Structure 1
Amino acid sequence: MTDAPASLLPVALQATEIASHLVRTRVPGLLTAKGDRDMASEVDYAVERAVRDYLKERTPNIAILGEEEGITGDTNSDLLWAIDPVDGTANFVRGIPLCGFSLGLIERGRPVVGVIDLPFLGTRYHAAQHTGAYVGDRRIQASMTTDLKDAIVAIGDYAVGEGSEAKNRIRITLTERLAANVQRVRMLGSAAIDLAWVAEGKLDASITLSNKPWDTAAGVIIAREAGAQVTDQDGTDHTFNSTATIATAPAVAKEIATLIIDANRLALKS
């Protein structure tokens, strides 16, 4: 491991400043359909392009993966920026403040730098590998909750598009299992917020049954550096190629994993 991650955190923070200003000062504008019940706003494209331009200037040898415009640059590089210009676009276009900008730096499949900015909540999270996780200048720590019945758990959005019916059987079954065992279930509409709030201890777990690097890279390193356990749904360590993103307070990780296994088994029977 090189010293690159920590040294590139200031670049990520400045890119986030650019993004946050655009999200706060521009209206969503025209919407572009991206498939069944999925969309991007003019702000999504404007933010991604502005951040791409900045990163290309500051780190020309690092490839860039964005939600809206795909991957550019040297794809053989060990490093990759992952941008979600507006995580929670459906919230953003309705004026719901639960949305944010997410920027992660991935090294050989694992995120090593992450910044999440929540422009309408005035909150910015950041982390670099081996340096801790912070909101502003304050170091944060994952929840110390030990009993599942005391846990507040966020679950990712239900699926849309091709194959959504089968995917949602698992999600709905999981929601039922969670409702029967945890204190409260939340669906906030932003993976970035879910992961950041696990890192800060506002949530005890976040369950996202998908893994799109622009959604998750920043949040995964922030949650890990705050002491959360972040895995795939089978309990293996979370990487770029994982099928799901499960972040939990360490003491409830095994019980959450059991609920996910049970939900998959029950959904397959239905």
Structure 2
Amino acid sequence: MTSLDELLSIARDAAEIGARMMTSEAPGTVSAKGDRDYVTELDVRIQRAIQDYLHHAAPGIDFLGEEDGGGTLDDTTDYVWVLDPIDGTSNFAHGIPLCATSLALVHRGQPLIGVITAPFLDLRYHVVHGGGAYCNDKPIQCSSTTDLRRAIVSIGDYATGEGAAEKNERRFAVTRALAENVERVRMFGAASLDLAWVAEGRTDACVILSNKPWDMAAGVVTALEAGALLVDLNGSHYDLRSVETIAVAKHLGSLPLPGVTRQGD
């Protein structure tokens, strides 16, 4: 088995394939995957290019990509690459620079390596489990904010598709609770950046009421390595089987979310 350091180097090179393609190629045809859920031709091309590179650079490791039609992450699998070729596709298709290639190496449900490359922002995050988190090769850590009213909190996208109205009632309740208690609420439209920016201390927490592995795996290990607390919305310990994804700067400790009385341990 190739060492984690070598696999990190491979992952960083793979993410740069996405960065180069995002900044040099047009989105191409935009197709609907569902209600207000879209994929561009470039999403698919990037995924194929990265998958091909990984297959040759690190043979024998499984692969799960968003543009394969989704899928589940089997936490009994020894090693699997998990990729979102363009996290924030709607942003990208509209010329909004909040988008990134997000790639993780997951071992039996535990992210070991995370790489998030946001080329239009010139931000490149990388992490190896147990080795700290980095942005543009400099160490990062979550914020030291302790006052909820000084906290910037980002939230994930509102739901679309089947059951969206019911799902969004919960999202509206969370948004209202945050809006009444924190300094500002933000919606960036790219889960990997939500988590990376908690890790970097740009924001103090993020609340994402979903948990798809290609959206979360790289960002979760980045936030954890930077000292953030990760929980499900009910306050239980987070893992890739959780229903929701909440990252909070460790000094802040808790958020006023409906149904949550304590976060942390």
Q: TM-score if structure 1 supplies the norm length?
A: 0.91
Contact 1:208 1:244 in 2 (8 A): yes
* Residue 156 of structure 2: aligned partner: 156
Q: Which amino acid in structure 1 is aligned with residue 66 of structure 2?
A: E
Structure 2 stretches lacking a partner, 5+ long: none
SS at match of 1:32: strand
Q: Which amino acid in structure 1 is aligned with residue 35 of structure 2?
A: D
Bigger shift: residues 58-67 or 173-182: 58-67
**Structure 2: how far apart are the matches of 1:228 and 1:151?**
14
1:261 equivalent in alignment to 2:259? yes
Contact 2:179 2:185 in 1 (8 A): yes
* Residue 195 of structure 2: aligned partner: 195
- Number of aligned pairs? 259
- Distance verdict in 2 for CA 1:153–1:11, change over 3 Å: same
**Structure 1: how far apart are the matches of 2:5 and 2:148?**
35
Per-residue deviation, residues 138-176 of structure 1 (Å, max 9, x unmatched) = 100101100111100000000000111111000011101
Residue 12 (structure 1) shift:
0.4
**Structure 1: how far apart are the matches of 2:257 and 2:66?**
30
Per-residue deviation, residues 21-54 of structure 1 (Å, max 9, x unmatched) = 0011011110111010101001100110000001
Q: Which amino acid in structure 1 is aligned with residue 257 of structure 2?
A: L
* Residue 204 of structure 1: aligned partner: 204
- Distance verdict in 2 for CA 1:259–1:47, change over 3 Å: same
Structure 1 stretches lacking a partner, 5+ long: 264-270
* Residue 47 of structure 2: aligned partner: 48
**Structure 2: how far apart are the matches of 1:219 and 1:77?**
20
* Residue 267 of structure 1: aligned partner: none
Contact 1:5 1:129 in 2 (8 A): no
* Residue 145 of structure 1: aligned partner: 145
Bigger shift: residues 7-16 or 201-210: 7-16
**Structure 1: how far apart are the matches of 2:113 and 2:217?**
8
SS at match of 2:252: helix
Residue 237 (structure 1) shift:
2.4
Contact 2:112 2:129 in 1 (8 A): yes
Contact 2:15 2:103 in 1 (8 A): yes
Structure having the higher helix fraction is 1
1:174 equivalent in alignment to 2:174? yes
* Residue 61 of structure 2: aligned partner: 62
SS at match of 1:252: coil
List aligned pairs for 1:67-106, cutoff 5 A: 67-69=66-68, 70=70, 77-106=77-106
Q: Which amino acid in structure 2 is aligned with residue 13 of structure 1?
A: R
Contact 1:6 1:129 in 2 (8 A): no
Residue 17 (structure 1) shift:
1.1
1:213 equivalent in alignment to 2:213? yes
SS at match of 2:84: strand
List aligned pairs for 1:218-233, cutoff 5 A: 218-233=218-233
- Structural RMSD (CA): 1.9
Residue 71 (structure 1) shift:
6.2
**Structure 2: how far apart are the matches of 1:37 and 1:86?**
16
**Structure 1: how far apart are the matches of 2:20 and 2:253?**
37
